[in-house]
Amino acid sequence: MTDDQITDQITDLARLLPAGPAPDLPAERHQILKEHLMAEYRLAPGNRRPTRQRRRARRPLFAALGAGAVLAAIAATAVALVLPGGQPAPASPAAVKLLAKVANAAARQPAPRVSNSEFMYIRSEVIYASYSDGSQVPTMEPLHEQQIWLPVANICDWGLLIEEGQRTSLAPPTDLRPPSSDCGQGNLLDPTYRLLQSLPTDPRALLNLIDASNRAHPVGQSLDSDGAAFFTIGFLVREAIVPPSTAAALYRAAALIPGVTLIGRVTTVERQPGIAIAWSDSRDRYEWIFDPATLQYVGERDYALSTGKPVLNENTAVLQRAFVSKAGQLP
């Protein structure tokens, strides 16, 4: 990379930085101003990519750089994320160190005893951008609770989603639904607990499997293989109960993904303090948030960068996970 190219890259990054806050600007007012950016947010249709279509079909998911101090930190390091020759840099040493600690903490969790007839239950608080009637301009859904029940063993067992007062039965998406004779553990786009138990625990082998899955069923046209791998791992740890050994392997696999960085102190939508790692490109940013004391996954923050103005697209806090006997049952 030439000096002129580096200068241009730094200039582009500088444009992402918001203007400094006015003196004595209250935190609440600062949040309101950030939310007003949503009214200006426009995204080309080719950049959209829905996530978990069978769960929340109306929610395209994007991610990008955070605002304020987070952006300042990224601007200081982003140029180093591409090596000479255009190759992405490996995960930062700080991110690798944190992911190793997170993996070790996950591995120490007790492995639950689960029957094939049970369901995974995950309760979260979420806020995200919503698109309707083909609009290119998103609006933010109100902060609300989401409850989801997913089958332990059989992809053809219907799960359940309760969100914003609506109950939605969940089945495999039409384009991936297997014949009844092929009902079973599912795949990485729609995993059962038994599938997660069967995944390799060698980080490199697991990452290769994720890459192969993403080639067969792309998670988004605008994501390269590194971003798709990070997205897939984040999806699994957010909307499933992952066996301890598999969770440890997933976090160690994430440490092998080029471009993963440490963000530092953040908060979830529930204002729970956490420490985050992230992967980003020029369009999107994904952040995983971990409890700084227990190192357990507690949520995510996703941003959109594509207009040059970082816009929060989703903020999720995972509040409860458990196994229950049937869809709709509470722990």
pLDDT band at 30 (very low <50, low <70, confident <90, very high): very low
The predicted pLDDT at position 137 comes to 64
Q: Hey, which of 56-60, 131-135, 187-191 has the most confident mean pLDDT?
A: 187-191
pLDDT band at 142 (very low <50, low <70, confident <90, very high): confident
pLDDT of residue 52 exceeding 50, the answer is no
- How many domains is the chain partitioned into structurally? 1
Does a structural domain hold residue 85? yes
CA 22 to mean position of chain CA atoms: 32
Does a structural domain hold residue 184? yes
> What residues pair up with 286 in beta bridges, in sequence order?
279, 302
Name all contacts of 213-221 with Cβ < 8 Å and 24+ positions apart: 213/187, 213/188, 213/189, 217/176, 217/187, 217/188, 217/189, 219/49, 219/51, 219/189, 220/49, 220/51, 221/46, 221/49
Q: What is the pLDDT of residues 228-269, one digit of tens each?
A: 999 999 999 999 999 999 999 999 999 999 999 999 899 888
Does a structural domain hold residue 102? yes
Does a structural domain hold residue 27? no
The predicted pLDDT at position 265 comes to 92
The predicted pLDDT at position 330 comes to 97
The predicted pLDDT at position 28 comes to 40
Residue % of the chain over a pLDDT of 90 = 46
The predicted pLDDT at position 51 comes to 33
Q: What is the DSSP string of 95-122?
A: HHHHHHHHHHHHHTSPPPP--TT-EEEE
Rounded average pLDDT over 95-104: 97
The predicted pLDDT at position 93 comes to 95
pLDDT band at 308 (very low <50, low <70, confident <90, very high): low
Q: What is the DSSP string of 135-172?
A: -SS-EEPPPEEEEEEEESS-TTS-EEEEETTEEEEE--
**Residue 94: is it exposed, middle or buried by C-beta count within 10 angstroms (0-12/13-18/19+)?**
middle
pTM: 0.72
Rounded average pLDDT over 127-144: 75
Does a structural domain hold residue 123? yes
Distances (CA, A) of 102 to 107, 198, 268, 282, 293: 9, 21, 17, 27, 11
- Compute the distance between CA of residue 274 and CA of residue 300 in angstroms, rounded to an integer: 10
Rounded average pLDDT over 134-154: 84
Question: Structural domain of residue 155, as residue ranges?
Answer: 3-19+50-324
The predicted pLDDT at position 78 comes to 32
Does a structural domain hold residue 44? no
Does a structural domain hold residue 36? no
